[in-house]
């Protein structure tokens, strides 16, 4: 009984590579949107608490 195992990877088809690239691009875009939303929500929170970027305390 011959049992052979191959560890060689078969080259992915061009369609698979294109899908991987498109998925990577979408992932980066989604991360940018999430970061932007996070920044905006932090700005809103600081405005609600009165601790915005321009904090002037006069003694």
For residue 39, tell me if it sits in a domain: yes
pLDDT given for residue 38 in this prediction: 93
For residue 37, tell me if it sits in a domain: yes
Q: Give the count of domains, the chain.
A: 1
For residue 56, tell me if it sits in a domain: no
Half-sphere exposure of 55 (CA within 13 A, CB side): 7
- CA 3 vs. chain centroid, Å, equals 43
pLDDT given for residue 24 in this prediction: 97
pLDDT digits (tens, 9 = 90+) for 7-48: 666 667 999 999 999 999 999 999 999 999 999 998 888 877
For residue 5, tell me if it sits in a domain: no
CA–CA distance from 5 to each of 9, 10, 12 (Å)?
A: 12, 13, 19
- 34 in Cβ contact with 28 (< 8 Å): no
For residue 10, tell me if it sits in a domain: no
Most confident of 3-7, 11-15, 51-55: 11-15
């Amino acid at each position: 009984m011959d049992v052979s195992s191959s560890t060689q990877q078969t080259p992915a088809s061009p369609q698979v590579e294109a899908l991987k690239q498109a998925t990577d691009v979408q992932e980066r875009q989604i991360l940018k949107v999430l970061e932007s939303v996070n920044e905006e929500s932090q700005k809103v929170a600081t405005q609600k608490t009165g601790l915005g970027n321009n904090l002037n305390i006069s003694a």
